[in-house]
Amino acid sequence: MNLSVGIVGLPNVGKSTLFNALLKKQTAFVANYPFATIEPNVGIVPVPDSRLEKLAEITKIEAKMAELPPIKPATVNFVDIAGLVKGASEGAGLGNKFLSHIREVSIIAHVVRVFTDANVIRYEDEETRLRQSSGGQGGSVGPKEDYEAIETELILADLQTIQSAQGKVKRFAKETEKTAIEKLFKGLNEGKRASEIELMSEEQEYANTFFLLSAKPEIIVLNVEEKDYNEKSIESIAQKYKEMLKPVQHDNEGNTVVICAKIESDLSELSEDEQKQYLADLGVKQSGLERLIKNAYATLGLISFLTCGEKEVRAWTIRRGSTALMASGEIHSDFMKKFIKAEVVSYPDFVSLNGPARNDFASLSSVSGGWKAARENGKARMEGRDYIMRDGDVVEFKIGV
């Protein structure tokens, strides 16, 4: 399953700094992972998952391997949506070309500037500059105004889509389709996001065919100053801006991640051990990118199941509520056709069966562990095609010939 996050925001909010940090992470990652060529505005980064390293250590010992098996984490595509400015829905900036890119992503990460820097000019539209030059009260645009400017463009772009559809709806169209168009047109005209317009299930199915921009899940990414980036400040800043954005944040209330793009850029230049030390010195438990990825997973209702063997240890992304049959299809479509059973062990059980010092991999050398230990201790169970997968399930699918 492909998870794609579209990064949007006005110019000079730190979006490019964040995306460039992602590209540096990708460069380091691709060295050990075979990827096809990607577009320049797309970065592929691994989903942080410490469970994979533990599974690799256990597999190495169980299979008596000289080296660790390859580790392949789940991945996220980050798409840099450039050219979004006030008036984009009418062609300003790079306009509709880049609005169309947003239609293809799973979730929107809306970067909002909350840092001050005299060397980085805050974006202002022509109307604001004219008010300032004539002595008006335009002033510097703030986070709330910045956020609302982009949200308005997404809603206006959706309104254009629905207006176009109105003219194409024929008299023989289903009543539910006509009603859906009417509700969407009315709601968007009132400044509502498509995601907060109430539709019946059949109406919603029809609305989904338009891939409306404001129907997509959204994460508000608050880009703060370096001095404000510590665990205590992160919490207070998130709460402060939740209240500030509440009137315009609508159904996305509370879905907020605080980052410092400058720090993310610095982290991307460091080794893994150096990154851990840097974050510890800042008093931060996780990097902003880690929290952004985890938030995206939670918002989209995604989980990971794990497979391990001599060839590879891997995390696979599925939707929460997926069955074992559906999960098998993520590995190969033929698995669904030839599915027999799924042998499943929960990750905590799989790890706990491998000695008391579970975080000390050197101590595992005298322990058999792995699938053998799970089966001997009755922790491995056979599940049918309708079994509902859980996050962290370690799975081996039994497939017919």
Q: 362 CB contacts (<8 Å, ≥6 apart)?
A: none
Residue-level pLDDT at 356 = 42
Per-residue pLDDT of the chain (401 residues; tens, 9 = 90+): 788 999 988 877 888 888 888 877 666 555 444 433 345 578 888 888 999 999 999 999 988 999 999 999 999 998 888 756 665 556 554 455 666 778 889 999 999 988 776 555 555 554 444 444 444 433 344 788 888 888 888 999 899 999 988 877 766 678 899 999 999 999 999 999 999 999 999 999 999 999 999 999 999 999 988 888 888 888 888 888 777 766 444 454 458 899 998 999 999 899 989 999 999 999 898 899 899 999 999 889 999 999 999 999 999 999 999 999 999 999 999 999 999 999 999 999 998 875 443 444 444 444 446 899 999 999 999 999 999 999 999 999 999 98
Secondary structure of 220-236 in the HEC alphabet?
EEEECCHHHCCHHHHHH
Sign of CA dihedral 222, 227, 231, 233: negative
Q: Tell me the two tokens of residue 386.
A: 């309708």
* Within a domain: 293: no
Round to whole Å and give the CA distance between 338 and 335.
5
Q: For residue 150, what pLDDT is reported?
A: 87
Residue 377 domain-assigned? yes
Q: How many CB atoms lie within 10 A of CB 319?
A: 13
Rg (CA), the chain: 24
The answer to whether 147 and 13 are in contact (CB under 8 A) is no
Collapsed DSSP state (helix, strand, coil) of residue 389: coil
**Is 93 inside a domain boundary?**
no
Total domains in the chain come to 1
Q: What is the Cα–Cα distance from 125 to 12, expressed in whole angstroms?
A: 13
The parent domain of residue 327 ranges over 320-397
Q: What pTM did the predictor assign?
A: 0.81
Asked whether residue 328 is assigned to any structural domain, the reply reads: yes
Is 86 inside a domain boundary?
A: no
pLDDT of residue 342: 98
Identify the residue whose tokens are 């992602």.
Answer: 22
Q: Is residue 341 part of a domain?
A: yes
Q: What is the pLDDT of residue 121?
A: 55
Structure tokens at 236: 């207070």
Is residue 14 within 8 A of residue 261, CB to CB? The reply is yes
Within a domain: residue 337? yes
Burial, 382: exposed, middle or buried (Cβ in 10 Å; 0-12, 13-18, 19+)?
Answer: exposed
376: CATH = 3.10.20.30
